[in-house]
């Protein structure tokens, strides 16, 4: 199976997770950074999921699965340890709804990559299910390589792009200025807490001055 990688906007859309155990918690944990409306269908929950419900970050339907539970959902996860329940969830899911089941039996429209988030920087890696262990290893390496300082760095690059697009009209000048914002000095200045130097650098670019 060949997968197409994509980043989905699921803000304010219904997502259903059927199951209340560790696998369900893994799926919900991955969904929390979004603004999706997360619905958990299960007669009971482990402590982690219960805490998300208590915090208002997910809605718990304390019941056995029923076909109408997936109505209007854009993503549906079947994460129970019962093949019969997972089959029922699959059968209830319409063709336009993206469906994934943890046991990888039957229909699987998508799988979740391992994700490292640093602000608006999203790094996703997958072995397409071939070696989950190696996927975890790669994720750990990425977490070490890209620490929390990259969140501030990406935020400043976004600020630069907005200012350059709003100020410069010549396309060639825009491209050149945007390229110059990728110089290593900006990352170094931010790590040193020298935001003023970064802003001065940006101002020089907006003024059309040469920067190194």
Q: What is the pLDDT of residue 2?
A: 87
Domain 14-111 and domain 113-147 have a common topology? no
Which residues of the chain are under the pLDDT cut of 50?
A: 212
- The correct CATH number of 113-147 out of 2.30.30, 3.30.160, 1.10.10, 3.40.50 is 3.30.160
CA distances from 166 to 133, 160, 162, 169, 201 (A): 45, 10, 6, 8, 17
Strands across the sheet containing 14-18: 59-61, 37-41, 14-18, 75-78, 98-101
Which pLDDT value is given to residue 104?
A: 85
**Report field, pTM of the whole predicted structure over 0.85:** yes
Whole-angstrom CA distances from 64 to 42, 70, 85 are 6, 13, 9
Strand residues in the chain grouped as ranges (E): 14-18, 37-41, 59-61, 75-78, 98-101, 114-118, 121-125
- The whole-number pLDDT of residue 210 equals 53
Say which CATH superfamily domain 14-111 falls into: NAD(P)-binding Rossmann-like Domain (3.40.50.720)
């Amino acid at each position: 199976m060949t997968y197409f990688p994509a980043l989905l906007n699921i803000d304010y859309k219904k997502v259903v997770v059927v199951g209340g155990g560790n696998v369900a918690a893994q799926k919900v944990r991955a969904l929390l950074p979004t603004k999706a409306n997360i619905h958990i269908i299960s007669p009971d929950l482990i402590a982690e999921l219960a805490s998300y419900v208590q915090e208002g970050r997910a809605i718990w339907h304390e019941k056995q699965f029923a076909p109408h539970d997936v109505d209007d959902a854009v993503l549906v996860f079947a994460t129970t340890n019962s093949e019969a329940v997972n089959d029922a969830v699959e059968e209830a899911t319409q063709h336009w709804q993206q469906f994934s089941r943890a046991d990888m039996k039957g229909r699987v429209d998508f799988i979740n990559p391992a994700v490292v988030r640093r602000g608006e920087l999203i790094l996703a890696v997958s072995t397409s299910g071939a070696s989950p262990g190696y996927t975890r290893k790669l994720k750990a390496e990425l977490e070490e390589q890209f620490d929390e300082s990259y969140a501030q760095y990406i935020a400043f690059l976004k600020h630069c792009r907005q200012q350059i697009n709003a100020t410069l009209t010549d396309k060639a000048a825009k491209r050149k200025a945007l390229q110059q914002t990728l110089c290593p000095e900006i990352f170094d200045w931010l790590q040193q807490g020298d935001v003023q130097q970064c802003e001065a650098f940006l101002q020089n670019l907006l003024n059309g001055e040469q920067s190194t």
